[in-house]
């Protein structure tokens, strides 16, 4: 059985996707105490070994990377606020050991553990941040310093069956592979089968929903910051965590041991499970081809 680690794990979108693909999570790291509660609530039963011997790490900066169990695939939705349109867009200019520099923790883990593959996720604006310089640095580190191939694609949740835009850049790399010779391909989009009308239980004016995010909740429905308000059967409806779970690809049985505001924040910070699973499936097939 192939094994993976889940860095900046949030509420476990990567974990859920790769668990469904038959892989074992052997290490995870998440610093937010409320996200940790939700993560453990939902994964303790299916991955019990993860919650012993500090394998569910709280602070990636206080960790001996050599102690991480061996694994095949490194997964990381590293902090995106420094690169997003709604953040300050500071990127690598933020202070050392800050959100913007968490990529360097990923780099150091790759150096020590040398996994077969890496799978990173971030906001699409990472590509153009600082006139493309931030993305250029990331690519140089992965290709030149770490000797991994580097392939990326902007993937939308709606490309893989979820009625939400949520464009994100997915970065995939394989150890000791040359980018131009790599036969890895990102999956083709599939037809949308579920719309916002299905999720909200009435005729919604949008088939594909707005991107769930952290700020701007309860903004006026016509405000550019609105993402949680919709017109359904002529009436205004606001999203709740059950709606958010469906839009992100989590099962309705997923539990939130936190209040509604925290649950919506956690969903806004998560990854689209269907999209991760589709790309992850291709990563596994590529590794199996050797």
Give the span between the Cα atoms of 63 and 202, in whole angstroms: 49
Q: Please, which contacts does 250-254 make with residues 24 or more away whose CB atoms are closer than 8 Å?
A: 250/11, 250/13, 250/16, 254/42
Phi, psi (rounded to 5 degrees) for 80 = -105, -10
Token readout for 22 is 């038959």
Residue of 25, 75, 80, 204 with catalytic role: 80
Q: Closest Cα to residue 26, out of 53, 54, 51, 4?
A: 4
Give the span between the Cα atoms of 213 and 225, in whole angstroms: 10
* Cα distances (Å, whole numbers) of residue 272 to 12, 16, 113: 10, 10, 27
80 included as an active-site residue: yes
Catalytic positions? 80
């Amino acid at each position: 059985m192939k094994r993976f680690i889940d860095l900046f794990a949030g509420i476990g979108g990567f974990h859920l996707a790769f668990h469904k693909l038959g892989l074992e999570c052997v290490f995870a790291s998440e610093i937010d105490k409320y996200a940790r509660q939700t993560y453990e609530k939902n994964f303790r039963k299916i991955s019990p070994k993860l919650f012993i011997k500090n394998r569910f790490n709280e602070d990636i900066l206080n960790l001996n990377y050599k102690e991480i169990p061996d694994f095949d695939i490194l997964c990381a939705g590293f902090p995106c606020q420094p690169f997003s349109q709604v953040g300050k867009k500071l990127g690598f200019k933020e202070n050392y050991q800050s959100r913007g520099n968490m990529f360097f923790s990923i780099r150091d883990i790759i150096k020590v553990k040398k996994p077969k593959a890496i799978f990173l996720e971030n906001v699409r604006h990472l590509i153009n941040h600082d006139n493309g310089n931030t993305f250029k640095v990331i690519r140089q580190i992965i290709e030149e310093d770490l000797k991994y191939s580097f392939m990326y694609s902007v993937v939308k949740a709606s490309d893989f069956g979820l009625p939400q835009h949520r464009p994100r850049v997915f970065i995939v790399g394989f150890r000791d592979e040359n980018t131009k010779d790599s036969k890895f391909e990102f999956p083709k989009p599939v037809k949308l089968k579920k719309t916002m009308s299905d999720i909200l239980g009435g005729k919604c004016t949008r088939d594909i929903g707005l991107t769930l995010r952290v700020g701007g909740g309860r903004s006026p429905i016509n405000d550019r910051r609105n993402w949680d308000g919709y017109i359904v059967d002529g009436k205004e409806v606001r999203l709740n965590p059950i709606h958010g779970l469906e839009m992100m690809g989590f099962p309705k049985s997923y539990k939130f041991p936190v209040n509604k505001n925290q649950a919506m924040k956690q969903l806004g910070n998560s990854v689209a499970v269907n999209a991760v699973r589709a790309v992850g499936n291709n990563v596994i097939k590529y590794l199996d081809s050797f």
